[in-house]
Each structure stands twice: as C-alpha cells, then as structure tokens.
Amino acid sequence: MNGENASGHSAGPNSGPETGTRDPDALLRRAGVRGDPDHDQHFLVDDRVLDRLPGYAEEADVDLSHVLEIGAGTGALTDRLLAVADRVTAIERDPDLAAFLREEFAAEIDEGRLTVVEGDALEVDLPDFTASISNLPYGPSSELAFRLLPEGRPLVLMFQREFAERMAAEPGTDDYGRLSVTAGHYADVEVVEPVPKEAFSPPPAVQSAVVRTTPRDPDYEAPDVDFFMDFLKAVFTQRRKTMRNAVRNTAHISGLGDPDAVVDAADEDLMGRRAGDVTPAEFADLAALAREVGEPGEHPSA
C-alpha cells in the first residue's frame, strides 16, 4: 500500500526511515545478537518476505488499527507493521531484545503507536487487537496458534511448512488431521507463501510457510467445544484404525464412560472409515452423539 494509511502515517516504499525501511541485517548488528538455533531463534531477514507479510492482511481488507506481533525479535517486521497499522503491540520474551526494541523504536513508543510487552505470549494478557501478523517461534507455534484462533481475529502467521500445510489440509488428504479440523473450526485457513530457509538468519533446518486465517463460524453445531476438541484429540491418536476402534480405544483421552454405546448408536458406514476421511461436520455430529449417549465424565486435561 503506497501513500498513507487511514491514520495518516506514511506507508510502503514511500515511508520515511522511521517506519518501513529499517534494514533487517542492520537491526541485527545494532542489537548485537546472532540467532541461536538451540533456543529456537531464527531471525527473518529477507526484505522481500518482510515487505509482503503486511500485504497479505491488506489485500484481505483486514482492520489494521491495532496489530499484535508475537516474537518481535529485533523489530524487522515490527518496522513494516508500523508502516501500515495505527498501533502495534509487540510481544518479546527475550529481555535483551525487548530492551533493544524499546530503544530502537523509542519515537514510535513516545507517539503511542507501539507498545512492547516483555514476556511469554502464552502467559501474558493479550491486548484487544484487530489482527495478528507474526513470525512465530517454531517451538510453541501450535500453542500460540490455538491461543490466537479462538480470539476470532484475522491472522497472518509464519509456521514450519509442514505444520502450515496440515493446518490447511482437506479431508481425505495425507496432511489432514486433528490440526486441520481444529484450525478449521475457527477460521478459513490458506497457505499463501512458502518461505525458504535462506530467508532466515541463521537458516533453520526446515522450510517455512505463511498462513492467512479468516475467522468465521463453523458450518456445523458443536454445543460443547471442550468435549469436541478432546474427542478429536482422542480419535486422531489412532488415525490408522477405523473410527469404531478409535472411539473404543481412546475413552481415556476423550473422557467417554461408555464408548461402546457411541459405536452402537453411530452410523455404521462412518464407524468403518478412518479419521482422515471424516469431515469436520461429521466429527461434530459424532461428538454430539458421543456426549449424549457415551456418558462423558470430566474433561481430561489437555
């Protein structure tokens, strides 16, 4: 987006040196840090990828009045987000990097456009954000995704490519699984760009990919979401078995007291299929039936 955004801040290639033009390698030098693969620390340094990330939200007409960034690092993406957003909240768990961000972006902080939160994004209180655009650390990426998805906000997130493809997979494909159904419960999910290892410093051992999610209500009823998620977790632990056996064998995970009653009451054709061939709507219907006839106890801890 060239010119100015709704808040009047310059954006895109015409923006001033304060937002949108900081060189990622220079940021690393000023911060005096190098990535550490042993601590899941890989900095995104490819200008082209960094420049494109906010665009995936802009082209979907996402509200960028308050963007949340998780894992801000040295601020290369933060800089691009400030060029298009009214406000940015950046969460960074490394105390030294959080201190660097407060120094590097002191002007933007003074203007009230940037807030730096030092802490673990799985533990800190999240602000009332309108969208999240983030290069997530690989280690907790699953937990972070499922903290963000229930918030019902548009997301543009960088993941390990295999994880991204499983998030967006369709029933009957090799990548389809619990992750696909769970993510799809909250949003439409699409992989918008593969990202090579060389885009990071140091390069990780795996390829990455950018995922865009668009929140929406599911096209099925899931009256007890907690039980639905426990049920999915259970049956997908035995995805190579028929649903009949998967339901019977995983009551200790799903919390079912009478899995045989579920198998007897369910559609016989469905019970003969494997989890990878069952649609989200069919899972929801089966979970509702299981809750009705299977005498669920307390939900097992996640």
Annotated binding residues for S-adenosyl-L-methionine, written as ranges, equal 42, 44, 71, 92, 120, 135
Structure tokens at 13: 């290639």
Cβ(149)–Cβ(171) below 8 Å: no
Question: What's the rounded Cα separation, in Å, for the pair 248 and 262?
Answer: 9
Question: Residue 242 CB: number of other CB atoms within 10 A?
Answer: 16
CA distances from 16 to 10, 65, 84, 113, 253 (A): 7, 20, 12, 15, 55
Binding-site residues, in ranges, read: 42, 44, 71, 92, 120, 135
Q: How many CA atoms lie within 13 A of 153 on its CB side?
A: 23
Q: In what helix (H) or strand (E) does residue 67 lie, and over which residues does it extend?
A: strand 66-70
Question: What's the rounded Cα separation, in Å, for the pair 163 and 166?
Answer: 5
Question: What's the rounded Cα separation, in Å, for the pair 123 and 147?
Answer: 10
Question: What's the rounded Cα separation, in Å, for the pair 10 and 16?
Answer: 7
